Structure 1
């Protein structure tokens, strides 16, 4: 637990700007989980088999299951969870509009690569937060346990039709571009998040060089995921 003041409010949250940034971050993650649930549930309709349908539905259920703890924490901070999520609906929905999968395999790539990049971004920011908030965010971004399913399905499909690999590699690069654009927009459009990343007298922060290194790490992890799928990044 972070140190507390006599009224049991953690010291970090005595800074209104920090509190606002944490609310923004938790709300963005929560709405991202809700949106991922909706998208995966829709993708389940494209599943070629009942086994695949159940696997994707399970992934969707896991995404929605993460929302409860985020909502509870937002309420503890005195925020209306749904009002807090509202500013993030447009950018996140836009991302999904621009990256609607054309088929089952594009949906799998998006579930694995697109969500992975978003989660990497939020984990990077979480490193600058108080321990309780950091732990909550990391827990809410845990792998739903279905990575092996996605990797297995995509690798098998490419082995059966090598031409599929080229198309999916292009799709993965498009997802990377859209995800990075969304992440930068979310950070830049919210003053409290920008201030959080910049740090303060009593908190570490990121200068332009550090921001560049952060996005370089995210890009490297994207390349690793693509390699796991048997695709070029």
Structure 2
């Protein structure tokens, strides 16, 4: 394994933890104003965190199927490629944006869409750039994760597991779960905007007039 990948794996784990760990307790059910759809987005996040743990070790165990290459033959193939570096940078940027959004929103940042007691409209910090910076950071984090796992030099790619028929019943559902957060974000953003517009009225409309973009400035 490339020695450069060891600190990268540590940073990946740290970025995942920041991006996917709720900064506040879950909102009470009475405060939630929108469901999460047929599959809870936060359960998908939990699965992603679980999926990341075995990869940080970078090597299969002795109980791995014999169709996979032995651990020693994989060692020189585990390295940092340009794609994995891009994934790492995307994850770090996403985690940073998420952390800034957590700090700015304080107790109001919950993974469930909720209106809390004495709720206020936050329009400062990253919320002065886009209206949903938490989703910006989340999208960058998940994109980074996909690049990290799919890159040359990643265990998932170099082990040949993706070419094993026995692995597909596991890989296909995991791949579907990894796409759920993107679909959930896309569904939730306009509904959250409408909810806040109804709750805060003119204050929200003035903010939305100044901050026109939902997740990417000058794009969307």
| TM-score of the alignment, normalized to the shorter chain, above 0.5 | no
* Greater relative contact order (CA < 8 Å, ≥ 6 in sequence): 2
Which of the pair has more CA radius of gyration?
2
Given the two structures, how large is their TM-score scaled by the length of structure 2?
Answer: 0.44
Given the two structures, how large is their TM-score scaled by the length of structure 1?
Answer: 0.43
Q: Which of the pair is proportionally richer in helix? A: 1
